[in-house]
Structure 1
């Protein structure tokens, strides 16, 4: 069994500026048991739930989730002309972010927050000191429109489209304040990770082969496809830079400048990227204790980029109830 270790002083200094809440390691140690392995270029961590996601676990997670959503909450509420803390019965009180998100959208952002939480809390491949200065939720354009409309018409509830681009971005910052590495990737929630669901997520949905009626094959446009075609410097880096420039230009001056150099079309400054895949949800019937979803001993052959890969699998027995209760509880 592996335990969550402390982050460094460097990460603490940067966290005090933007995304301020340290990962709740005591809660994680109580809630989840971890099986981890790491080899050159590939890390795999399986976490299994060992206690119910009750009020104690949710309260332990709540400060981190509020910190992760705080930038987008302020941004969306301001766009809609809402108070950050609208009283019951006040205009827009039904459209508070992220509490008002519909079920599917809640599960999506839950996975994205967990990506950052795990990046900050766990020892990933390469043992880098990862920093998550701010989450990129403000770039979920459909959520912004949804909240604007819902605050004016409470009957306009609907599902919300996911945010385009990387699910989250973490960075490594050297002693000079320059960014040297990114972590970016895909977070996927499924109610039950049965083999057919896993194959559809990773390999793409099944389609019928032309001229071979009834013969179905995966279309090849799943997570592996997205990871393999992802840019070495992802678009989320630009989104992160824009937020830092707006909210913390002095504190992050060196980071912003280095991101500018890294994104140059000609002769960009060197940087490295780590790919992250986070799979979270319920267990398939018959799955054994400690049994991973993806290959753990060697890097999966489907990962075709010459980049480090980190896989995190989180198996929950009451994930649906925990997510809804947690998002109902944010900013009480």
Structure 2
């Protein structure tokens, strides 16, 4: 039996494949890229490249070719900033892509699928504290305030339909990811790593007058999670017996730590006293931000 990972070359996909391979899983890696990154190419049993989730027949052929798949990870979805720039293409990938994957799974009689949702799914009416994935299932018509959040909501509806038809869908609401990768993605919470990298540059050039360009409001509080904790949480959701999945529609919010940009910058200044910043709002990044003071 094997695990099929769609969006294998993405930031989460690469981490997930590394963790799956470390425990001996047989992996089928699927991505629209012409080839997999060197970091994961040797870890997978089969690589299906140039594979677009927007094409149903491509998905159908995948499941016919790999008949021993027991679990699917569909990570094919643009990030929040990419969605804001081109929402139509993002919808085709995120919603229509999931529809194609689920239908191909239904034909192949594969039941378990996992999906990564986002804090961008919560709108302005969501609670500021102790807010779980249950709130999303109890308020299915709330407006998250962005195309990104609305598309995630559309995927949750598809997963609910799949569940009601006998499938085993599971989804995790992800906070921002704290990591040390050279490149992760153009997401809203990526500012945190960029600020740390900028601070490291200031250490080597203490006389520089350059300021960090903060792309979000400094007082907006966002939840974050360390990348290793993220990976452990995702694997735990995959491994959990169905009898233990008691949350509505099998959605779980992964916990982390919340802080504002200003709080992060204050901590940086303990180590880099000459760290300074300017606020240069990126409107695409700020769409859907909901955790405000």
TM-score, normalising length: structure 1: 0.27
Higher share of residues assigned helix:
2
TM-score when scaled to structure 2?
0.30
